[in-house]
Structure 1
Amino acid sequence: MSVRGRSLLAAGLPLVAGLATLFSALPAWAGSALGAWRISREGQLELRTSPDIQIQAFYESGRGRSGPRIWVDLPGAPIRTRTIPGAGLVRQVRIGKPTPYETRLVLEFQPGTPINPAELRLVGTARDRWRMDLKALGAGLVPLGEGDVEAASAPTWRQGPPATAFVPRGPLNAGSLPQVPRGRFKVVIDPGHGGPDPGAVGIGGLRETDVVLDVGLQVAQLLQARGVQVLLTRTSEVDVDLPPRVALANNSGADLFLSIHANALSMARPDVNGIETFYFQSSLSRALAQAVQEQVLAISPGSPDRGVRPGRFFVIRRTVMPSALVEMGFVTGQIDAPRLADAGFRRRLAVAIATGLLNHLGGR
């Protein structure tokens, strides 16, 4: 974690130029947060929405004759649902209503379209603008859209409520996780840093924000598979300041709060490695920290146990429920950094953290 204590878009191939962009006038969207969408000539999915909303984006790989899908869920139901013929790699686009209170924008791609979900990120560029880079699909991605999405003139959104998400569909293996009563508990997961604040940067350019967001999203998915309601303070690369993180937790009625970070010292000190978890004052918070620390240590052989320690970090000092902050290792450490950079190890970290949280909830 950097001194601030604060709080993923590959370069693609160029699109075929000169193809007409397909736009039509949008009707009034009664209650829906979606104002307009398009796949731009630059190969980006762009959205215009109501300001300061929470949206989520999902990916699902296709099977058989069904191609892969990306979809975005927004608050408010559309005035009408419809299916829009696609072009190029996009088979069709659907505007739907998964619940009476939601709008869903679905991009269904042709079977066999090569999409790497690890490269997908939905990023807030302003209070009412969002962007996902699809340039890696190359010339098969044809401009398409509804409504008028002009480039946002507002500055990059650096502060506000949690607003975007990217969640790969296809559950992690939760079969070995501890059982707790379904629907009984609510947990807040806080992946530190985000957006223009990368947190600590270590060996090989490893960024804390990337590590903790990946682990945090997986922890949330694992807990949800066990019937725990999960709130995330951020779910994509946006910078959420510390007070909104605390406010989200304190207003949620959550049973637990866990802030997820990675440590750093100096690139000149790769000998410094280790796991540590912090709590503030209460015995319940200390027990939570201990439960998480034990599980993370168990899957990190050779990384020193730096202990369960009292700390005064804002997010654990100002939250009203049992709270802890875990440092999963040093991005500058010769032992920890290669592990944190490995997707398989981050998966094990997520399972370990989820196990610690479920153990603690089950013992209450």
Structure 2
Amino acid sequence: MFEARRWASSLMAGVLAAQLIPVLPARAFSRLAAWAITAKGELLLRTSPNLDLDAFFKDGDGRYGDRIWIDFPGSPQRPRKIPGKGAVREIRVGMPERGVTRLVIEFKRGVELDPSKLRLVGLDWDSWRMRFPLQDARFVAMGEGILEREVPFPSGPTMPGLSRAPLRTLTVASLPWVRRGAYRVMLDPGHGGKDPGAIGIGGTREKDVVLDVSRQVASHLRSKGVVVKMTRRSDATVDLPPRARLSNQWRPDAFVSIHANAISMRRPEVNGLETFYFQSFQGKKLSSLIHDSILRTVRRKDRGVKEARFYVIRRTNSPASLVELGFLTGTADAADLADPAHRRQLALAIAVGILNYLRVAG
């Protein structure tokens, strides 16, 4: 028999009955978008609109440790169990009944929570926090999804302009966590073989740049347990229909085509990053996350996330994105794309964007 209590709906502490209710706001997101446990011992949530959160506590027994769970309207795309770290034994995302997503945080046996000190507090219209008041417990940061609203998923091009100075220098340690073996990604290095693609300043060829970047992205994704295939792994000629057909036969969770742009050599002032999707909310989300990750990593003019009818993203059934890394005919972009160190940062940024998409898409 367990003892269940409710968290007070005011800022005052109180020991109440079975259901635990949040403080404020009364409405938040329609489904779970992201969660994280911080090293400080906090649970952070981001949700979708029009939602009343239901939160519960259950004492541990001989089989389970103390558990907190929160219910969200909407079914999870992928029920899963995630091994915990530190004081947390396991995180579970499941569906206790049709149309309900349940996030369960189970603590290790011997870690005892006092439910009268627990509060699920609304920080903003889309974000929540719960602190775990455990002085001697060790917490390790972990989570899924993106807590910050850093990508608006615009309906048209994003606001143009030059991105700010690099906000970060990425390393392999920067790559987000995803469940190993759970996802498949198809990478499509543009052109190849007899088709060099764009040829830019200094004779830099698009097919060489994008193959190098794609190979690095593949390596980073594989290091996180993602299963990766490439439409070409060498300087080979591959027509467009076989690329889309290969993806549709394999049915990856995401398809990412990597290209470099070009315009007349007489227009060296034209530079910038463009990312494209075709008539798909998931494709738009994937494109936006990759685009934003690149802009937060390298200095690049932002030419926007746009809808387009490129063959491979139009004929691919999976969520698809086509990234134009920059203009090989642009003075600034050409110098960057010819630089191996810059390409390493681009590859890490693309990998981060893809991994963040997989975490959000579930």
**Aligned ranges for residues 1-364 of structure 1 at < 5 Å?**
174-301=172-299, 303-364=300-361
8 Å CA contact 1:191, 1:213 repeated in 2: yes
Distance in 2 (CA, whole Å) between partners of 1:246 and 1:219 is 19
Larger Rg: 2
RMSD: 1.1
Where do 4+ consecutive residues of structure 1 move more than 4 Å? none
CA deviation map 1:40-88 (0-9, x unaligned): xxxxxxxxxxxxxxxxxxxxxxxxxxxxxxxxxxxxxxxxxxxxxxxxx
Tell me the TM-score normalised to structure 1 length: 0.52
Looking at structure 1, the residues matched to 203 and 296 of structure 2 have their Cα atoms a distance apart, in angstroms, of 26
Q: Secondary structure at the match of 1:209?
A: helix
Q: How many residue pairs get matched?
A: 192
**Counterpart residue identity of residue 270, structure 2:** V
What percent identity do the matched residue pairs reach?
Answer: 56
| Deviation of the 1:300 alpha carbon | 2.5
CA contact (8 A) 1:174 1:226 kept: no
Q: Shift of the alpha carbon at 1:173?
A: 5.2
Q: For 2:203 and 2:291, locate their aligned partners in 1 and report how far apart those are by CA, in whole Å.
A: 26
Aligned partners of 1:299 and 1:276: how far apart in 2? 15
Distance 1:324 1:240 in 2: 18
- 2:333 and 2:273 map into 1 onto residues whose CA distance is 9
| 3-state secondary structure, aligned to 1:291 | helix
CA distance in 2, matches of 1:298, 1:337: 19
Aligned mates of 1:243, 1:197 — CA distance in 2: 15
Provide the TM-score with structure 2 as the length reference: 0.52
Letter in 2 for 1:222: H
- Code of the residue aligned with 2:249 in structure 1: it is N
> Residues 87-115 of structure 1: CA distance to partner in whole angstroms, max 9, x if unpaired?
xxxxxxxxxxxxxxxxxxxxxxxxxxxxx
C-alpha contact 2:251 2:317 (8 A) present in aligned 1? no
How far apart are the structure 2 equivalents of 1:293 and 1:176? 17
Deviation, structure 1 residue 299? 2.3
Deviations 1:181-202 (A, max 9, x none): 1100000000000011100000
Gaps of 5+ in 1: 1-171
In structure 2, distance between residues paired with 1:229 and 1:269: 40
One-letter amino acid of the structure 2 residue matched with residue 240 of structure 1 = V
Cα separation, 1, equivalents of 2:295 and 2:328: 16
Corresponding residue for residue 26 of structure 2:
none
